[in-house]
Amino acid sequence: LEETLFLTVNIIDRFLARENVVRKKLQLAGVTAMLLACKYEEVSVPVVEDLILICDRAYTRADILEMERRIVNTLNFNMSVPTPYCFMRRFLKAAQSEKKLELLSFFMIELSLVE
């Protein structure tokens, strides 16, 4: 879901704002943030072994679970945050916008993810 992408980026941003992560572990932090976002938003969650394969076996199951614990503790278990996607969806619904405006709006907020 789109919400998962925005929540993943939000988790990464908030975690890295509070914790220093060595360059070698940035991929681990990203993949673990995606796991947490999937657990919060998705109906079916990827298994940890699939994430290990995505990382080309650079990390172990224990590494991912340890990083998950570290992220959740750093963020004080606060996973429920407003994202630009949620705001835009509500705003466009209230504005009764056309499909063309919706597509442009979501394109613009997706561009802002890298910022």
The residue extents of the domains of the chain are 1-75, 82-114
Query: Which fold would CATH assign to domain 1-75?
Result: Cyclin A; domain 1 (1.10.472)
End-to-end CA distance of the chain: give it in Å, rounded: 20
Over its length of 115 residues, how does the chain's per-residue pLDDT go in tens digits? 889 999 999 999 999 999 999 999 999 999 999 999 999 999 989 999 999 999 999 999 999 999 999 999 999 999 888 889 989 999 999 999 999 999 999 999 999 988 8
Task: Kindly state the tokens that stand for 100.
Answer: 């063309």
The values of phi and psi at residue 80, to 5°, are -90, 90
In this prediction the pTM is 0.88
What tokens were used for 5? 């992408």
Quote the tokens at residue 73: 């503790």
